[in-house]
Amino acid sequence: MTDRLVSTVLPLKSPSGGPALSGDRPAPGGDFAVERAEGAVRLRLTGLWVTETLAGLAERFLQEAGAIQSAAVSLDLTGVTRLDTAGALVINQALARLGAGRCRTEVVSPDEEFIRLLNTAKPVPEGDRPGPQAPAPVRFVNQVGRNLTDVGRSSLGMLSFLGEFLGTLGYLAVRPGEIRWTSLAFHMDQAGIRAIPIVSLLSFLIGMVVAYMGMNELAKFGAQFFSIKMLEVTILREMGVILAAVLVAGRSASSFTAQIGSMVANEEVSAIRALGLSPMVLLVVPRIVALVLTFPLLVFIADVVGVIGGGTAICLTSDISVENFITQFNNGAKTNNFLVGLIKAPFCALAIGLVGCYHGFQASTSAESVGFLTTASVVKAIFLVIVIDAIFAIFFVNIGL
Amino acid sequence: MADPRAGSSSSDSDVVVRLRGITNRFGTNTVHQGLDLDVRRGEILGLIGGSGTGKSVLLRTIIGLQRQAEGTVTILGVTMETATPRERAAVRRQWGVLFQDGALFSSLSIGDNIQFPLREFTSLGKGLRADIAHMKLELVGLPQSAWGKFPGEISGGMRKRAGLARALAMDPKILLLDEPTAGLDPIGAGDFDRLIVTLRDAIGLTVILVTHDLDTLYAACDRVAVLSDRKIYAIDTIPNLVKLGHHWIREYFQGPRGRAAEGTYERNQASGAPDARSAAAQTPTQEQEEGV
């Protein structure tokens, strides 16, 4: 609309910035002045009209221009020393406002380049822009709904992933030649063996804390010896497996997601499929099976080291001797507690491995998605581990173990 | 320009980017040795060279991402090595860089990506900032519907355009492009070539681009600088470069692909529709320019 109105008028003054008129002090940025004469208005622009100087200036200018009630307005750019597309955009917006008020507009510019910029930097009408966002309450409800369906979808996805995994296991049982032994061994080392130091250390410390705190409380009743029994139940039945599971969830679920996710992002998984191979066989089975095989070992180590840690604390801080501790432990301990703890291990490992691998496959081509998914997979893996533990706890208590 | 030495005749005020004696080393591998280059105001300069001749390294040297071992980089009259941090920052706002795949921030929508420099460097109001960003979106020929999308949701060609819009957000004087048409389909690449020429004409940019795309070199570049033997071997228009008789340059421009690109270019010239002009139908800028 405005390009019809824009016209070049030869400069009356020297194009090199033009001498400032009386009262027109050149501002460090840009400025403008409104001159009214015989029903015509002259908007005289001066100085820098560029992106850096527009803050505040643009609003003032548009407001002033919008308030003009005149039949003819001329925009004089003679005093403008620099103009860029942002400045030109603001001038165009002003022209549009003036034009909407049925006002004849005219642009005076010494510089061809300014006119070119004015013709380039057209405002985009509101109508052409994508619609505004929905109001906050609607967005909130939207988000809640989306999150709920996401939870449902990802649960279903996990379930079908579990099915696919079990199916692949069955397939591999029939054709063991396709099992990737190297990969399996590598992941057993990565996810299992290399976790031993950190699992042992933490288990030792937790064992100490549990025994020490228990002993302090029980000493009030003169029942220090029961702290040994308490240590046994806590570590063997619950803490050993939970501790190892939380650590492995943090170590391995995240690394599975990141590894597979970046392979998806890099289209390596597509390449595997295109070669007629199965990412399940190549990537998922070695990882999950390695975890299921090595995780009970980690739990066992956590149990042993935890009990040693607890024993250390008890022997160091009370008058119970090492021999005494061992005898008491032997007398009180039940294999039950140890087995109950250990039997949960493969299930936790399966959950951690499935969550880690499943989320890896959810990655899109952006690097950011891998980051999000890694966080989600760790959180979900720990959540699942605790849920599994709770289910087993209820189950075992009910069957009297 | 018969003198193949980097435009040493051009006057100072006309030179936007001046490299003198640039030496770049990676360990014992010297990529550039005493390299000189002058880029003139308002030109579109193509940078070519075989693999490993350090085209991208040179671009990164100009931007300051790769610190040269020796030599000086002078941009818009400011010698970057001796300038104060303030001066350097001021110069940095005078250029826009388009990396190979757009390098858009993946956590921001396209609209927010374009507004990012405006938000960081100016105190413009929200409304005006959005107005400017919408205008830039239009300028690079993206549909307004791309505004709210995220970089992961749009095609590679659109990402490049959006990256260009972000590079243009602060109205730079210099535009640096790294392989702007790599990975684009021929139509998209042709559009992009025309877009660069149109933008240069409309907002007076100086463009430096690294490319292997012969069509881009013919259609968009005013001059082409050839990197060879750790220096700018020559810098001139394509016909003049070919006349120099350097084996690699002849091979480059007169191999089967070079001839095909030249043929297309000449056909377009002959039919009275030079590439830059035929963009008129697609980009609003050109259309209006002719209406003046």
For residues A173 and A101, membership in a common domain is answered with: no
Task: Give a yes or no: residue A164 inside a domain.
Answer: yes
For residues A75 and A204, membership in a common domain is answered with: no
Which pLDDT score is estimated for A196? 95
In angstroms, the separation between the Cα of residue A4 and the nearest Cα of chain B is: 8
Task: Give a yes or no: residue A38 inside a domain.
Answer: yes
Which pLDDT score is estimated for A300? 95
Contacts B280 to A, Cβ<8 Å: none
Which pLDDT score is estimated for A17? 39
Q: What is the DSSP string of A172-215?
A: HHH-GGG--HHHHHHHIIIIIGGGHHHHHHHHHHHHHHHHHHHH
* Inter-chain CB proximity A3 and B148 less than 8 Å: no
For residues A112 and A170, membership in a common domain is answered with: no
SS3 state of residue A48: strand
Which pLDDT score is estimated for B272? 53
* All structural domains of chain B with their residue ranges: 41-64+86-291
Contacts A49 to B, Cβ<8 Å: none
Strands in A232-357 per DSSP E: none
* Inter-chain CB proximity B131 and A8 less than 8 Å: no
Summarised one tens digit per residue, pLDDT across range A276-320 is 889 999 999 999 999 999 999 999 999 999 999 999 999 998 888
Contacts A121 to B, Cβ<8 Å: 135, 139
Tell me if chain A has a CB within 8 Å of the CB of B260. Answer: no
Task: Give a yes or no: residue A132 inside a domain.
Answer: no
Which pLDDT score is estimated for B12? 62
Q: Distance between CA B71 and CA A141 in Å, rounded?
A: 60
Which of A84, A120, A128 best tests the B interface by mutation, with the highest count of B CBs <10 A?
Answer: A120
Task: Give a yes or no: residue A386 inside a domain.
Answer: yes
Higher pLDDT, B215 or A374: A374
Mean pLDDT in residue range A249-274: 91
Task: Give a yes or no: residue A183 inside a domain.
Answer: yes
Q: What is the DSSP string of B38-95?
A: EEETT-EEEEEESTTS-HHHHHHHHHTSS--SEEEEEETTEETTTS-HHHHHHHHTTE
* Inter-chain CB proximity B292 and A3 less than 8 Å: yes
Assign residue B97 a region: left if phi > 0, alpha if psi is -120 to 50, beta otherwise? Answer: beta
At residue B138, does pLDDT exceed 90?
no
Q: For a pLDDT cut of 90, what percent of chain B falls above it?
A: 17
Calculate the average pLDDT of chain A.
86
For residues A249 and A358, membership in a common domain is answered with: yes
For residues A63 and A190, membership in a common domain is answered with: no
Give the one of B135, B137, B291 whose C-beta lies nearest to A89's C-beta. Answer: B135
Calculate the average pLDDT of chain B.
82
For residues A49 and A10, membership in a common domain is answered with: yes
At residue B289, does pLDDT exceed 80?
no
Which pLDDT score is estimated for B11? 58
Q: From the centroid of its chain, how far is CA B115?
A: 21
Task: Give a yes or no: residue A139 inside a domain.
Answer: no
Contacts A29 to B, Cβ<8 Å: none
Q: How many structural domains does chain A have?
A: 2
For residues A103 and A202, membership in a common domain is answered with: no
Answer yes or no: are the C-beta atoms of B78 and B26 closer than 8 Å: no
Summarised one tens digit per residue, pLDDT across range A48-68 is 888 888 888 888 888 888 887
pTM score: 0.69
Summarised one tens digit per residue, pLDDT across range A148-182 is 999 999 899 999 999 999 999 999 999 998 899 99
CA dihedral angle for residue A14, residue A20, residue A21, residue A22, rounded to 10 degrees: -150
Give the one of A85, A89, A122 whose C-beta lies nearest to B284's C-beta. Answer: A122
At residue A367, does pLDDT exceed 50?
yes
Summarised one tens digit per residue, pLDDT across range A206-220 is 999 999 999 888 888
For residues A264 and A350, membership in a common domain is answered with: yes
In angstroms, the separation between the Cα of residue B123 and the nearest Cα of chain A is: 6
For residues A367 and A225, membership in a common domain is answered with: yes
For residues A108 and A162, membership in a common domain is answered with: no
Which pLDDT score is estimated for A109? 81
For residues A368 and A321, membership in a common domain is answered with: yes
Higher pLDDT, A116 or B133: B133
Confidence band of B155 (pLDDT split at 50, 70, 90): confident
Which pLDDT score is estimated for A19? 40
Contacts A8 to B, Cβ<8 Å: 292
Which pLDDT score is estimated for B260? 79
Mean pLDDT in residue range A25-35: 72
DSSP one-letter code for B161: H
Which of A1, A8, A50, A51 best tests the B interface by mutation, with the highest count of B CBs <10 A?
Answer: A51
Contacts A56 to B, Cβ<8 Å: 123
Confidence band of B1 (pLDDT split at 50, 70, 90): very low
Biggest CA–CA distance in chain A, Å, is 112
CATH number at residue A89: 3.30.750.24
Mean pLDDT in residue range A246-265: 93
**Fold designation for B41-64+86-291:** Rossmann fold (3.40.50)
Domain enclosing residue A117, as ranges: 2-124
Task: Give a yes or no: residue A317 inside a domain.
Answer: yes
Which pLDDT score is estimated for A307? 94
At residue B19, does pLDDT exceed 60?
yes
Give the one of B137, B152, B203 whose C-beta lies nearest to A365's C-beta. Answer: B152
Which of A119, A126, A362, A370 best tests the B interface by mutation, with the highest count of B CBs <10 A?
Answer: A119
Mean pLDDT in residue range A186-193: 94
Mean pLDDT in residue range B213-242: 88
Tell me if chain A has a CB within 8 Å of the CB of B166. Answer: no
At residue A389, does pLDDT exceed 70?
yes
Task: Give a yes or no: residue A217 inside a domain.
Answer: yes
* Inter-chain CB proximity A55 and B203 less than 8 Å: no
